[in-house]
């Protein structure tokens, strides 16, 4: 989807050098080499990565608004909006809690911080002062109030995902209530979606440049050696995230009739883009388009994926409890059962609304530790050097989790074209005859069953 238009030949038939994920993978490798052998030059590449992320963020607001508003307006029953959102939130809460618990269990088993014997008084609080300040300024109540924008148009300026989603849902409901009189507006928005997604396709051509710049900066500034200092924590986190995807999400996928490995292959371009930029937001527009191409209705995709970017953060949740216990173990601080339950509850709340950009997980970790008196907030200085590398794994896991959630909720709602899903996952590319226009409830599944018959 990223490297071909919707009607084009599947990516596997393109020349190797024209396939986007190959270009991104090559750019990441070159960025690593440049950052390692010419650190100063690597650091100077930072504007390339930042510029690409800004380009993508520029188009996220209109993509979400057009997808959600037109999807809801096309629903025959507005109760569907509440039902889809309710099911999505139930899914998010269940698997977010499970991810937090798994991070805690693995930390107890592996004990990555044991034996370091760090004196909490020796920790450099100045190194993390900025993150702590941001954490104190981001309470859960503030997060909920921030969902309501100042004006109807301010979310398109600020780019806040949840605010855009809030406006889009209201506008879509209004279009559906007005009915036939709003048809010209709905037709206009549907027509506008075409050039907007064409802009996304054009911007994705710059993905290799962005991935190169971001990776060169990361390696140049922090060095490959900084990972080795805390290899046990980083290795444990990556292993846990992989197991979560393969075992937990794999079981969910199998129960719902698809393969998690095939899904990972299907969204490989988005995963490599996230790997290169450390930002899951960079892949949001194309992920939405791809999930539509895999048979999920536009209305479900428009509600589940943007909401999941704030509420379905499996990778971030694993990181939160694992990092907190690592700090406690490193400082020889025993945590009671009550402390751990409190940690779980606070992390469950503070992780909601974490943005899909580098550093957000670190800020939410600071917010969590500030409520747990036993663990010093300054302890996050221990993992400051490797957080950039862990943020990539967080974003990758979050992305796979949101793609899985979209298919599952679409299936629950009867809004999944199973034939198209199987075709997309088997070929690893968007089917050539994709029609992603919003259709009434059940139309997608009914169409798939009719074609199968």
Digit-by-digit pLDDT tens for the chain (453 residues) are 334 444 444 444 667 777 777 788 888 888 888 888 888 898 888 888 888 878 877 887 888 788 778 877 766 566 777 788 888 889 988 998 899 999 999 988 988 877 777 776 655 554 445 544 554 455 556 666 777 888 888 888 877 777 887 888 888 888 888 878 888 888 888 888 888 888 878 887 888 888 888 878 878 876 766 555 567 788 889 999 999 999 999 999 999 999 999 999 999 988 988 887 767 777 888 898 899 999 998 888 888 888 888 778 888 889 888 888 888 888 888 888 888 888 888 777 666 655 444 455 666 777 677 667 677 777 777 776 567 677 788 889 999 999 999 999 999 988 899 999 999 998 877 776 544 444 444 444 444 444 444
By C-alpha distance, which of 323, 334, 315, 318 is closest to 396?
315
Q: Residue 191 and residue 241: Cα distance in Å, rounded?
A: 40
Orientation of helix 284-293 relative to helix 387-412, angle to 10°:
30
Global pTM value: 0.70
pLDDT attached to residue 437? 43
The structural domains of the chain, with segments of one domain joined by +, span 20-452
Note whether 86 and 303 are within 8 A (CB). no
Can you give the pLDDT at residue 260? 95
Domain 20-452 has CATH 1.10.3860.10: yes
313 to each of 132, 354, 361, how far by Cα in Å? 21, 8, 10
pLDDT at 117: 74
Residue 432 pLDDT = 66
Q: What is the pLDDT at residue 133? A: 53
């Amino acid at each position: 989807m990223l490297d071909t238009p919707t009607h084009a030949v599947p990516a596997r038939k393109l020349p190797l050098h024209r396939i986007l994920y190959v270009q991104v993978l090559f750019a990441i490798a070159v960025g690593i080499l440049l950052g390692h052998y010419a650190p100063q030059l690597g650091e100077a590449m930072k504007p390339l990565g930042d510029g690409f992320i800004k380009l993508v963020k520029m188009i996220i607001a209109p993509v979400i608004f057009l997808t959600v508003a037109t999807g809801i307006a096309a629903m025959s029953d507005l109760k569907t909006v509440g039902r889809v959102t309710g099911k999505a939130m139930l899914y998010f809460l269940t698997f977010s809690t499970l991810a937090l618990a798994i991070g805690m269990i693995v930390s107890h088993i592996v004990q990555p911080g044991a034996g370091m014997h760090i004196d909490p008084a020796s920790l450099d609080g100045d190194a993390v002062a900025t993150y702590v300040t941001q954490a104190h300024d981001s309470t859960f109540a503030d997060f909920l109030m921030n969902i309501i924008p100042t004006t109807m148009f301010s979310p398109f300026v600020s780019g806040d995902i949840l605010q855009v989603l809030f406006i889009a849902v209201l506008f879509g409901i209004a279009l559906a209530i007005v009915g036939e009189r709003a048809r010209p507006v709905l037709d206009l928005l549907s027509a506008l979606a075409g050039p907007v997604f064409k802009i996304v396709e054009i911007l994705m051509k710059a993905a290799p440049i962005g991935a190169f710049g971001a990776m060169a900066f990361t390696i140049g500034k922090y060095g490959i050696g900084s990972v080795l200092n805390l290899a046990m924590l980083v290795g444990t986190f990556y292993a846990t995230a992989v197991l979560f995807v393969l075992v937990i999400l794999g079981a969910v996928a199998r129960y719902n009739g698809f393969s998690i490995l095939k899904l990972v292959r299907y969204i490989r371009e988005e995963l490599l883009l996230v790997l290169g930029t450390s930002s899951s937001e960079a892949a949001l527009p194309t992920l939405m388009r791809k999930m539509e191409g895999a048979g999920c209705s536009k209305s479900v995709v428009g509600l589940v994926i943007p909401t999941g970017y704030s509420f379905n953060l499996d990778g971030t949740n694993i990181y939160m409890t694992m990092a907190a216990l690592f700090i406690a173990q490193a400082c020889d601080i025993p945590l009671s059962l009550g402390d751990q339950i409190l940690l779980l509850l606070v992390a469950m709340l503070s992780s909601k609304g974490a943005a899909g950009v580098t550093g957000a997980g670190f800020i939410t970790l600071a917010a969590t530790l500030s409520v747990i008196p036993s663990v010093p907030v300054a302890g996050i200085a221990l993992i400051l050097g490797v957080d950039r590398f862990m943020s990539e794994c967080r974003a990758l896991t979050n992305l796979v989790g949101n793609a899985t959630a979209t298919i599952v909720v679409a299936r629950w709602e009867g809004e999944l074209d199973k034939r198209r899903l199987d075709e997309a996952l088997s070929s690893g590319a968007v089917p050539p005859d994709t029609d992603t226009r919003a259709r009434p409830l059940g139309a997608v599944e009914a169409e798939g069953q009719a074609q199968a018959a």
